[in-house]
Structure 1
């Protein structure tokens, strides 16, 4: 079995990935980070015997001497726009395999645009956002398209956090987000509103068919268990991943529905403010505000279900299909997806090359099976 190189094992998400790898056993795991002592303590707590390498993974070329083309790198070190680029570049140069847990649309787009050609030359496979962001939407969108049939022209995806179960779902309110998310997740979700985004529109003028959009410029509406739920449009890996396996579709939209009643005001403010929303000043103000969010140190202390809606439309905008998917809380989902994908690739060979979405990377049916094994299923 090929080595699994885990970055970020001392963080909240990375430690959960390590625990999953320890439970499944049999993998040759290497932990990489800046503190050998902290990594060893995490390995001891997880009960796994593994190699530890001390390195600053954000430094230029820091991993080049460690990696080989047979390695599978799993990175949970964010913010990825600041700390993740050198890791991805190293894997693309070496020709290895890379998965990460990013939820940052600009980083996803950067990876596809900047590293795809190099990765194909070296035989590398790079798969950004292989966790709660944004594998569930890829699965839900693909399954909805299978239900919709050959007339599917558009795919829409909505992400929500719920408590309870189908027939008794209760949306997680904005004020309760600190109880079910980490500080890093909340900060990233807040900052994304001031970042440039995109949507898939099968644009002939763009290699990936993307159209630039501001985050929140569209408001998507879904119904779940009698709840009318709004979601703000965002960039995601679905805009790259779904067209890879559904070549006849014309549009993909992804919405984040975490903000409850605040969705509509943010949407209309985004439309009214126009380009000011994604100006350098706006990003600096948003970043400063994110640093001062309340409950900065609060980590999850309550359970929330991952609920994702996939919907398809035809060219006349008629709804063809709609499905609701339910899964574990976001961090359990991310840990399960990353650990299972790493093990599948580490045990196999002949994976595709380039920067790819999750459906093309593992194969759509295999990805659905991985989702089912961690409890992400139709309801």
Structure 2
């Protein structure tokens, strides 16, 4: 009988996702590389099936899955550790959901569309705070302005905490190239190449350009789109620093030996699986996503702001919903899917509201 497998269950995001799945009444198989830790987590959660798998042994990951299963993976950084789970899902004909925010890995998933379709697998990458709310907000704005040809999306977090896994992923992305949608095609563009300000709940906030899933996903549901930009909110000085530093990181990225050495040094220095903000800290966090639909001249035709709480809580809740929905046959297609074309705009909107995200002002 098809099942949900949660790989990386003992990590910070993994544990939150396990809790969210069980709260929904699901019966996931909890999987990780440390058998004792997985068994303890299962006991803490009142009992669950467990399995041991490690990305250094891809066959052990493949052994987790049968056709029709749903694999939810939080094992990152995905550029270093994500491919075994992705390959295992396609090989098994299983659906796949991950929590990455790493642009180059997102691109890899979308490049596997043909293989996933042939296998009957639905691949849902970046299915958390990175980058579901932006896809949703843009979809709502584009519904109001169907003739729009441009979308600009900004992510903003107040009082954020970060997990060890998030810091490791950010470090791993430092010298990777970015991208953007231009003239209907995804093209290379430096992360941090663009700056702009957004009106966020009555306050002006600065964002710097980043690669996201919106660049690949939105044109599938909104083929009129010719340009997409995604921005991450940062304090103005930090945004300016990333903008100026992006030229240096682009130079480093062109020197393979130097890039490899710096990547290896960062991997040794910035460790994942070191915990994250506790429930009280997450309860103080507030987040917003702004999406603007524009015409060719840059005129804003529609704007939608979504407001919610902690990114980790949302990620756990929305991945649990996606896994259960996929298991129940709720995916609208196979292949590499964006949030809107995977489930439809209305179903996605309802799920986000139930996860605590609403339009602002209400």
The whole-number CA distance in structure 2 between the counterparts of 1:106 and 1:364 is 25
Q: CA separation in 2, counterparts of 1:224 and 1:371?
A: 19
Structure 1 range deviating more: 317-326 or 122-131: 317-326
**1:14 equivalent in alignment to 2:14:** yes
Distance change (3 Å), C-alpha of 1:347 and 1:274: closer
In 1, Cα distance between equivalents of 2:230 and 2:311: 17
1:300 aligns with 2:277: yes
TM superposition shift of 1:266? 2.0
Q: 2:295 aligns with which of 311, 314, 319?
A: 314
Task: Indicate how the Cα distance of structure 1 residues 101 and 41 shifts in structure 2: closer, same or farther if over 3 A, else same.
Answer: same
* Residue in 2 that maps onto 1:206: none
Q: Could you say which residue in structure 2 is the equivalent of 1:236?
A: 212
Listed one character per residue, the Cα deviations across residues 198-257 of structure 1 (whole Å, up to 9, x for unaligned) are 111244xxxxx2111111111122122343211111111111111111111111100111
Matches within 5 A, 1:163-242: 172=159, 177=160, 180-203=161-184, 209-242=185-218
Unaligned runs of 5+ in 1: 163-171, 204-208
Of stretches 98-107 and 255-264 in structure 1, the one that deviates more from structure 2 is 255-264
CA contact (8 A) 2:207 2:239 kept: yes
Q: Structure 1's 35 and 274: CA in aligned 2 closer, same or farther, altered over 3 A?
A: closer
| Residue 337 of structure 1, CA deviation | 0.4
**Which residue, out of 241, 248, 253, partners 1:265?**
241
| 1:343 lines up with 2:324 in the alignment | yes
The answer to whether the 8 A contact 2:138-2:151 is kept is yes
Is 1:116 equivalent to 2:97 in the alignment?
A: no
Distance 1:232 1:267 in 2: 7
Q: Does 1:33 align with 2:29?
A: no
Contact 1:326 1:378 in 2 (8 A): yes
Task: Give the whole-Å Cα distance in 1 for the aligned partners of 2:264 and 2:140.
Answer: 36
Correspondence for 1:374 = 355
Structure 1 position 153 matched with structure 2 position 149:
yes
Cα 1:258–1:282 change in 2 (3 A) is farther
Q: 1:365 deviation in Å?
A: 1.4
* Deviation, structure 1 residue 265: 2.7
Hey, what's the Cα distance between the residues in 2 that align with 1:4 and 1:298?
24
Partner residue of 1:356 out of 322, 325, 337: 337
1:4 to partner: Cα distance:
0.5
Q: How many residue pairs align between the two structures? A: 354
In 1: Cα distance, 2:175 partner to 2:339 partner = 26
Q: Distance in 1 between matches of 2:14 and 2:139?
A: 28
Q: Residue 199 of structure 1: SS of its match in structure 2? A: strand
Question: 1:86 and 1:286, CA in 2 relative to 1: closer, same or farther beyond 3 A?
Answer: closer
Structure 1 counterpart SS, 2:320: helix
CA distance, structure 2, for counterparts of residue 226 and residue 191 of structure 1:
34
1:243, 1:98 → 2: CA distance?
21
What value does the CA root-mean-square deviation take over the aligned residues? 2.3
Which sections of structure 2, spanning at least 5 residues, go unmatched?
A: none
**Take 2:118 and 2:334, find their aligned partners in 1: how far apart are those partners?**
8
1:330 equivalenced with 2:311 (yes/no): yes
Q: Specify the alignment match of 1:63 in structure 2.
A: 61
- Matched with 2:5 is 5
1:334 is displaced (CA, Å) by: 0.4
- Secondary structure at the aligned position of 1:265 is classed as helix
1:45 matches 2:22 = no
Q: Is 1:288 paired with 2:284? A: no
Change (3 A) 1:360 1:224: same
